[in-house]
Chains A and B, each alone.
Chain A
Amino acid sequence: MTQNAEHVLDHLELFRGPEYQQMLANKRALFENQRDPAEVERVREWAKTPEYREKNFAREALTVNPAKACQPLGAVFAAVGFEGTIPFVHGSQGCVAYYRSHFSRHFKEPSSCVSSSMTEDAAVFGGLNNMIDGLANTYSMYKPKMISVSTTCMAEVIGDDLNAFIKTAKEKGSVPAEYDVPFAHTPAFVGSHVTGYDNVMKGILEHFWDGKAGTAPKLERQPNGKINFIGGFDGYTVGNLREIKRIFGLMGVDYTILGDNSDVWDTPTDGEFRMYDGGTTLEETAAAVHAKATLSMQEYCTEKTLGLIAAHGQEVAAFNHPVGVAGTDRFLMEVARLAGVEIPQSLEMERGRLVDAIADSSAHIHGKKFAIYGDPDLCLGLAAFLLELGAEPTHVLATNGNKAWAEKVQAVFNSSPFGKNCHVYPGKDLWHMRSLLFTEPVDFLIGNTYGKYLERDTGTPLIRIGFPIFDRHHHHRYPVWGYQGGLNVLVWILDKIFDEIDKASNVPSKTDYSFDIIR
């Protein structure tokens, strides 16, 4: 195989040609000090055994292929959901390059965020000057309506005090005294990205509701009938929040979405770069204190935030990323109850269509075993949906899930006969999952892009649901919430199931008697 101007070969084909294959074989044989192939094969097989699994699960210190990120990522996710807001991350600058890349690779969108670029001198003397200069620069250059400050582990280890620093920066004239600079400490060595989301959401609400760090009077809550909605850290935020708005519109709910990043991560290509787009306005954010109640779609993303809101006298309700019929039912009934509205006929029709779709297809899913990993709430939502499809969520794993989460998952298992042989794994990583898939195989795996390594190694087909998804495009534009969202998840699962059935039956004269055109 040689390069050709008419049909240009790239990495997918180029290196399969004999000249490259020979070259690579020589490199390996002569210079790499390669391991004996028999030994490689032995270890590869050994890693599939229960014995290896036992050693693997005995790990106490090493983490391999975790399914979680650090707090500051969630901090940025939450901040960009507010109108004209730029996240300002106090600490080393490389972190910000990473968050921006990470989000851009998932959403295929620009992701604006600045750093206070702390280096050795700041490590010694503290990052006050970085805050003073940084806020002034960001304010003049990017003309944000609000700057949301969070931290990296560096700033946390040296103990920089955001409240004092921002106050000093304002005194030095970096930004006007009355300018909104909410902040949250988001140490990377505590919790995960969902914790960072929680801390920033709480920080922003606290800022507007509780007197802007002592610079304004606290807001007096004058309850109205509105409902606040918080989505949490969610790879499907673009599709999901739009779906929630549509549903609330149908129900006639008077609502505020707190942290609405559905527009900033889905801007058009029309000749204009929008650094800011959409988002919860600052006025709405402040006025949200008066709401009757706040609903969180993801409990583990909003533990502290809901505490703050409840302390202001609102009723709060938390869900676990509901997916499917029963989860959506409970969500809608709660919305209806809190907002004092009826669930309209149109949504009941949508519900009926989802049930119809499940009835049409459930024979293909019934009894199938699934492994799921992802954020704690997503795992709960997906596990419940699989159970209502008659499938078994055999392994459910969240690296950032804790004991309380595990109990909650167990309760979901206990609620269905299909949950009988299912197990939950809090605090484990994808190398643990690898052992699970080898020793207790399942039919399908649900997870993010990194799951493709598990698919390659264990042969378990991967259904991509989660965050991040880097290697498939545009799924984040579809909702997974509401009955429509449930339909999307159902279709993604079915597509993979049918693809696998076709793959297993496409050998002419051997297996293709089952290569049916009707399924």
Chain B
Amino acid sequence: MSVSETESVAEIKARNKELINEVLAVYPEKTAKRRAKHLNVHEAGKSDCGVKSNLKSIPGVMTIRGCAYAGSKGVVWGPIKDMIHISHGPVGCGQYSWAARRNYYIGTTGVDTFVTMQFTSDFQEKDIVFGGDKKLAKIMDEIQELFPLNNGISVQSECPIGLIGDDIEAVSKAKSKEYGGKTIVPVRCEGFRGVSQSLGHHVANDAIRDWVFDKADPNGPAGFEATPYDVAIIGDYNIGGDAWSSRILLEEMGLRVIAQWSGDGTLAELEATPKAKLNVLHCYRSMNYISRHMEEKYGIPWCEYNFFGPSKIAESLRRIASYFDDKIKEGAERVIAKYQALMDAVIAKYRPRLEGKTVMLFVGGLRPRHVIGAYEDLGMEVVGTGYEFGHNDDYQRTAQHYVKDGTLIYDDVTGYEFEKFVERIQPDLVGSGIKEKYVFQKMGVPFRQMHSWDYSGPYHGYDGFAIFARDMDMAINAPVWKMAKAPWKAAPKPTLLAAE
């Protein structure tokens, strides 16, 4: 049981502040000064969380962050299923990110879809010395020959590409022309660019703008008749099927989803998106850029939503419906009502087992805030949270809509800080990534991976919430956590009470 339950908010704040000072003490002075700006205790009523963000990680501290390539290939582009994404550079990047994010899709892999394959130019020393453009051109020819049903190619740059001065844009243009205007997208997502995955998302968004939207014929016919209810799902990567358990709700309320960005998505869906009446945006961090662009260029409004947990789902369905007529508004109410019984049953089953349990989060994208409502629906409390690669607008949204007074906030947390925070706060559950999972489980703290859903999911939507509740319960209430201490070690210490 968490210590925080027995304390007042003032005590919690004081404890958290002390804790921040404690972890800062380990750093050399210069580093302590820099890290201090990323750690804070949330004050209710403030417009943001009072931390700096989207700044360079400090060398040697064990940041949890990845790189721009991870943001582009791993997040935005990789899930586009009918295109071939070349990891351009040495073999490692593509190897470590190969099929690791569980972007579900339907298709015949290796024939008309390619998500769980690793295409790489496998750079050798000679490619570094003489440049890799000729090799890239040849790779595209070989792709055309061996994978004739691919609908497009993207070039995901790894670090060396930008350093050796390769002109992947020229190669892409020439090959696109040679193949009759085929979509070939060069992406400048070299890992050293920017401070985290975040720049990779932005670069990837811009590449869609420049190499997909701007190449498409704006007056060209869509493959379908437009309706007033056409929407696109933006920023759902279909991890464990998340986009599917979201799409079904939008369709049940009467909307028509014409595109998924980018989980289980296709090039045709990207191209058709400017025909949408509304873009609904789940992961604001990774795809706000393209949403803003479509608003400016095509006049498509966009609307953020949150499909974690029944409270936020209902709120979001109503917000999305507010952009449409009564038919859709009624549709939203109908959907909410339809799933009410399921939600009541899930909460009746799991809330008693989870009530009052505390959670600490450290994730990327939208999850450090978006999942808070789902935990609260189960009677749980998030006592600490932070973003791997958030910006200030993420922390504003977090402060204004999600976290409670006194919540510990840690931006780009270091391995050391996270370990110390958890050790001291003793939450009932930690939600973070694979690199963190085993650290906390060794400490005897229940853990769920909140990037991959620990190989479960989906967690989005009403169907997903049932799985979320089941999984949190099985993490926290697993018998294993009672066995961490050997019984001969756990025996109560000889007490002095008797003598008193």
B111 at the interface (CB under 8 A from A): yes
Closest to B119 in A: A64
Q: Let me know if B120 and A63 touch, CB within 8 A.
A: yes
Q: Let me know if A97 and B442 touch, CB within 8 A.
A: no
- On whether A273 and B158 interact (CB within 8 A), knowing A33-B268, A101-B435, A123-B192, the answer reads no
A70 at the interface (CB under 8 A from B): yes
Q: Which of B145-153, B284-292, B316-324 contacts A (4 or more CB under 8 A)?
A: B145-153
Q: Let me know if A98 and B118 touch, CB within 8 A.
A: no
Q: Let me know if B456 and A98 touch, CB within 8 A.
A: no
A3 at the interface (CB under 8 A from B): yes
Q: Which of A114-122, A225-233, A237-245, A283-291 contacts B (4 or more CB under 8 A)?
A: A114-122
B415 at the interface (CB under 8 A from A): yes
Closest to B267 in A: A33
A19 at the interface (CB under 8 A from B): yes
Q: How far is the CA of A414 from the CA of B124 in the complex (A)?
A: 32
How close is B133's CB to chain A, nearest CB, in angstroms?
11
Which residues of the partner chain A approach B128 to less than 8 Å between Cβ atoms? Answer: 153, 157, 189
Interface size on A, residues (CB 8 A): 106
Q: How far is the CA of A15 from the CA of B92 in the complex (A)?
A: 33
Q: Let me know if B266 and A23 touch, CB within 8 A.
A: no
Which residues of the partner chain A approach B470 to less than 8 Å between Cβ atoms? Answer: 8, 10
Q: Let me know if A119 and B194 touch, CB within 8 A.
A: yes
Which residues of the partner chain A approach B469 to less than 8 Å between Cβ atoms? Answer: 8
How close is B31's CB to chain A, nearest CB, in angstroms?
5
Q: Let me know if A117 and B58 touch, CB within 8 A.
A: yes
Q: Which residue of A73, A105, A131, A273 contacts B434 across the interface (Cβ within 8 Å)? A: A105
Q: Which of A93, A108, A123, A453 has the most CB of B within 10 A?
A: A93
Q: Let me know if B70 and A97 touch, CB within 8 A.
A: yes
List A residues 123-138 near B (Cβ within 8 Å): 123, 130-131, 133-138
A100 at the interface (CB under 8 A from B): yes
Q: Which of B307-315, B390-398, B457-465 contacts A (4 or more CB under 8 A)?
A: B457-465
- On whether A64 and B96 interact (CB within 8 A), knowing A93-B57, A273-B442, the answer reads no
Q: Let me know if B416 and A14 touch, CB within 8 A.
A: no
Q: How far is the CA of A189 from the CA of B443 in the complex (A)?
A: 38
Q: Which of B13-21, B251-259, B297-305 contacts A (4 or more CB under 8 A)?
A: B251-259
A267 at the interface (CB under 8 A from B): yes
Which residues of the partner chain A approach B223 to less than 8 Å between Cβ atoms? Answer: 30-31, 33
Q: How far is the CA of A272 from the CA of B82 in the complex (A)?
A: 46
Which residues of the partner chain B approach A6 to less than 8 Å between Cβ atoms? Answer: 345, 349
- On whether A97 and B435 interact (CB within 8 A), knowing A34-B112, A117-B63, the answer reads yes
B240 at the interface (CB under 8 A from A): yes
Q: Let me know if A157 and B92 touch, CB within 8 A.
A: no
Q: Let me know if A450 and B98 touch, CB within 8 A.
A: yes
Q: How far is the CA of A105 from the CA of B56 in the complex (A)?
A: 27
Q: How far is the CA of A431 from the CA of B142 in the complex (A)?
A: 13
Q: Let me know if B191 and A61 touch, CB within 8 A.
A: no
A472 at the interface (CB under 8 A from B): no
Q: How far is the CA of A72 from the CA of B91 in the complex (A)?
A: 11
Closest to B194 in A: A119
A154 at the interface (CB under 8 A from B): yes
Q: How far is the CA of A34 from the CA of B264 in the complex (A)?
A: 12
- Chain B's interface size range is 35 or more
Q: How far is the CA of A73 from the CA of B439 in the complex (A)?
A: 20
Which residues of the partner chain B approach A111 to less than 8 Å between Cβ atoms? Answer: 435
Q: Which residue of A64, A92, A108 contacts B67 across the interface (Cβ within 8 Å)? A: A92
- On whether A60 and B484 interact (CB within 8 A), knowing A137-B28, A137-B61, the answer reads no
B97 at the interface (CB under 8 A from A): yes
Q: How far is the CA of A31 from the CA of B260 in the complex (A)?
A: 10
Q: Let me know if A114 and B62 touch, CB within 8 A.
A: yes
Closest to A113 in B: B62
How close is B87's CB to chain A, nearest CB, in angstroms?
9
Which residues of the partner chain B approach A110 to less than 8 Å between Cβ atoms? Answer: 435, 438-439, 442
Which residues of the partner chain B approach A61 to less than 8 Å between Cβ atoms? Answer: 121, 135-136, 138-139, 142
B496 at the interface (CB under 8 A from A): no
List B residues 83-108 near A (Cβ within 8 Å): 89-93, 95-100, 104, 106, 108
List B residues 146-169 near A (Cβ within 8 Å): 146, 148-149, 151, 158-160, 162-164
How close is A56's CB to chain B, nearest CB, in angstroms?
6
Closest to A273 in B: B442
Closest to A33 in B: B268
A269 at the interface (CB under 8 A from B): yes
Q: Which residue of A8, A62, A70 contacts B92 across the interface (Cβ within 8 Å)? A: A70
B247 at the interface (CB under 8 A from A): yes
List A residues 210-234 near B (Cβ within 8 Å): none
How close is A420's CB to chain B, nearest CB, in angstroms?
31
Q: How far is the CA of A314 from the CA of B48 in the complex (A)?
A: 64
Closest to B442 in A: A273
- On whether A112 and B415 interact (CB within 8 A), knowing A59-B146, A135-B60, the answer reads yes
List B residues 51-75 near A (Cβ within 8 Å): 56-70
Q: How far is the CA of A135 from the CA of B58 in the complex (A)?
A: 11
Q: Which residue of A19, A43, A63, A267 contacts B248 across the interface (Cβ within 8 Å)? A: A19
Closest to B224 in A: A30
Q: Which residue of B91, B139, B484 contacts A270 across the interface (Cβ within 8 Å)? A: B484
Q: Let me know if B92 and A72 touch, CB within 8 A.
A: yes
Q: Let me know if A133 and B31 touch, CB within 8 A.
A: yes
Q: How far is the CA of A98 from the CA of B151 in the complex (A)?
A: 29
How close is B71's CB to chain A, nearest CB, in angstroms?
9
A307 at the interface (CB under 8 A from B): no
Q: How far is the CA of A156 from the CA of B422 in the complex (A)?
A: 37
Which residues of the partner chain B approach A59 to less than 8 Å between Cβ atoms? Answer: 142, 146
Q: Let me know if A98 and B97 touch, CB within 8 A.
A: yes
A65 at the interface (CB under 8 A from B): yes
- On whether A94 and B345 interact (CB within 8 A), knowing A60-B142, A104-B437, A154-B163, the answer reads no
Q: How far is the CA of A104 from the CA of B96 in the complex (A)?
A: 12
B295 at the interface (CB under 8 A from A): no
Q: How far is the CA of A324 from the CA of B192 in the complex (A)?
A: 46
Q: How far is the CA of A66 from the CA of B260 in the complex (A)?
A: 30
Closest to B247 in A: A23
A437 at the interface (CB under 8 A from B): no
Q: Which residue of B66, B116, B419, B444 contacts A453 across the interface (Cβ within 8 Å)? A: B116
Q: Which of A19, A62, A140 has the most CB of B within 10 A?
A: A62
- On whether A44 and B60 interact (CB within 8 A), knowing A31-B269, A60-B142, A122-B192, the answer reads no
How close is B231's CB to chain A, nearest CB, in angstroms?
12
A11 at the interface (CB under 8 A from B): yes
Q: Let me know if A35 and B92 touch, CB within 8 A.
A: no
List A residues 55-82 near B (Cβ within 8 Å): 55-56, 59-66, 68-70, 72-73
- On whether A100 and B193 interact (CB within 8 A), knowing A33-B151, A138-B60, A154-B160, the answer reads no
How close is B426's CB to chain A, nearest CB, in angstroms?
11
Q: How far is the CA of A91 from the CA of B191 in the complex (A)?
A: 10
B326 at the interface (CB under 8 A from A): no
A179 at the interface (CB under 8 A from B): no
Pairs of residues from A and B, 3 with the lowest C-beta to C-beta distance, nearest first: A94-B67, A70-B92, A134-B59
A interface, CB within 8 angstroms of B = 3-6, 8-11, 14-15, 19-20, 23-24, 27-28, 30-35, 39-40, 43-44, 47, 52, 55-56, 59-66, 68-70, 72-73, 88, 91-95, 97-102, 104-105, 108-120, 122-123, 130-131, 133-138, 140-142, 152-154, 157-158, 187-190, 192, 267-274, 431, 434, 450, 453, 457
26 CB < 8 A contacts A-B: A3-B462, A14-B241, A27-B257, A31-B266, A43-B112, A62-B121, A63-B119, A65-B117, A92-B192, A94-B67, A94-B68, A94-B191, A98-B97, A101-B96, A110-B439, A119-B195, A122-B192, A133-B30, A140-B27, A187-B125, A189-B90, A189-B123, A270-B484, A271-B443, A450-B98, A453-B117
B interface, CB within 8 angstroms of A = 26-28, 30-31, 56-70, 82, 89-93, 95-100, 104, 106, 108-112, 116-125, 127-128, 135-136, 138-139, 142-143, 145-146, 148-149, 151, 158-160, 162-164, 191-195, 197, 223-224, 240-241, 244-245, 247-248, 251, 257-260, 264, 266-269, 272, 342, 345-346, 348-349, 414-416, 419, 433-435, 437-444, 456-458, 462-463, 466-467, 469-470, 480, 484-486
